[in-house]
Amino acid sequence: MKPTFLSVKELATVLGMSVDSIYRAYRKGDIPAAQICRTLRFDLGKVQRAMEMKAKAMPNSRCSRSATGGESRRRAATSPRSVRRGRS
């Protein structure tokens, strides 16, 4: 199969992502690219494989950002020092 090279804007349209997200993923090394003269070109097949491999390597990455113990930080018990005291 002949490789299909896409520009940043074309790749963003195909993947449904923003142009900034494509540049960010490229800088992090998440997706491969070829630099032709001064422009980046992406092989669609290689990019899709790289994204699949990254997704398999990190199955539950969003869960790691949750609060410890399963509690929300906003609903944690208030400190005795932060309770209002005085006349009502």
Residue 54's H or E segment, with its range, is helix 44-57
d(CA 18, CA 25): 11
Say whether pTM exceeds 0.95.
no
pLDDT in tens, 48-72: 999 998 888 876 655 555 555 555 5
- The amino acid at residue 33 is A
- Percent pLDDT > 90 in the chain is 51
Residue 36 host element (H or E): strand 34-36
CATH architecture of 1-57: Orthogonal Bundle (1.10)
The count of C-alpha atoms lying within 13 angstroms of the C-alpha of 47, restricted to the half-sphere facing its C-beta, is 22
